[in-house]
């Protein structure tokens, strides 16, 4: 006598494939963000500010103040 009309293994396999696809999607989305990526639209502004500071265009105090303003911590 067959259980579930013969669909027992098929349903289990379908669940495994679905869980694998979900895990793969999570990995792709997390990798896209990258390490140290700033969340939201402020990321581009912080990156531009970082470049200005690295080139010596602004002093450390101004850099920290502006970065806090951009990130909403000021």
| Residues 1-49 pLDDT 10s | 455 555 566 777 888 888 889 888 888 887 776 555 555 667 788 999 9
Contact between 65 and 74 under an 8 Å Cβ cutoff? The reply is: yes
Contacts of 4 (CB under 8 A, 6+ apart): 11
Contacts of 61 (CB under 8 A, 6+ apart): none
What sections of the chain are H helices per DSSP? Answer: 8-33, 42-54, 60-71
Question: Residue 26 has what DSSP assignment?
Answer: H
User: Which tens digit of pLDDT belongs to each residue from 50-69?
Assistant: 999 999 999 999 999 999 99
What's the CA gap between 38 and 73, in Å, rounded?
14
pLDDT score recorded for residue 1: 45
């Amino acid at each position: 006598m067959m259980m579930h009309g013969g669909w027992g293994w098929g349903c289990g396999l379908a669940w495994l494939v679905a869980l694998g696809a979900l895990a793969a999607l999570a990995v792709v989305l997390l990798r896209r963000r990258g390490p140290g990526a700033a969340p939201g639209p402020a990321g581009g502004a912080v990156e531009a500010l970082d470049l200005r500071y690295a080139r010596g265009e602004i002093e450390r105090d101004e850099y920290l103040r502006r970065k806090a303003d951009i990130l909403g911590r000021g």
